[in-house]
Chain A
């Protein structure tokens, strides 16, 4: 969502910037769009659920409380991946800052 906002902010939506594309590109893109849609829809329609009735057990399984317990449970939880996700975000943030720094500072 943030990326969408950034994109709309960063792009200069001028018509003259949009270069004319060749017809082959358009045809290829539309053809691949239709083919991928066909394949995905065929696969999903083939594997539609056999059981039509959908029973609700009444058990709470998607509130924040339950999700937090599943995420940070001591035995079967995702504690270590959670920590590694934070490390990954930190490393990517540092990498983004390093990559977008000025060139002169890197060469010093």
Chain B
């Protein structure tokens, strides 16, 4: 049976992961909508998870994939709390545009 890394190659996975991470950074820096920024952070997390799985397969060791499980669990917790905080922000200033979060600015 031919391995998936032999078919595709580890370089292409690395390129895809790099591209996803950069798209996430671009989204965080460019968009001002808080939900879209959350989505970009999720894209960055998924890029790192993809790279972890790829290197786990490359080294033929299952521990990396176990680490990805925990990473996904922590990401889910983070998203739950983050969305709740966004709800609170929207209740207070009736917008989720982060440019309007200037109340702490001295």
Contacts and interface: CB of A to CB of B under 8 A. Distances in A.
Interface of A: 3-4, 6-7, 10-11, 19, 21, 25-26, 28-30, 32-33, 36-37, 40-41, 44, 48-49, 54, 56-57, 59, 61-62, 66-67, 70-71, 78, 81, 85, 88-89, 91-93, 95-100, 103
B66 interface: yes
B98 interface: no
Contact of A95 (B18, B25, B60, B81): B81
B74 A37 contact: no
Q: What are the 10 A-B residue pairs with the smallest beta carbon separation, nearest first?
A: A99-B84, A92-B77, A96-B84, A29-B30, A33-B26, A96-B80, A100-B87, A29-B29, A85-B73, A70-B62
A36 B22 CA distance: 7
Contacts of B19: 37
A99 B61 contact: no
Contacts, number: 117
Given A57-B60, A96-B81, A99-B81, A37 B22 contact: yes
Interface in B1-27: 1, 3, 5-6, 10-11, 14-15, 18-19, 21-23, 25-26
Contact of A49 (B10, B22, B73): B10
A34 B14 CA distance: 16
A99 B91 CA distance: 11
Contacts of B88: 99-100
A103 B69 CA distance: 35
A92 B81 contact: yes
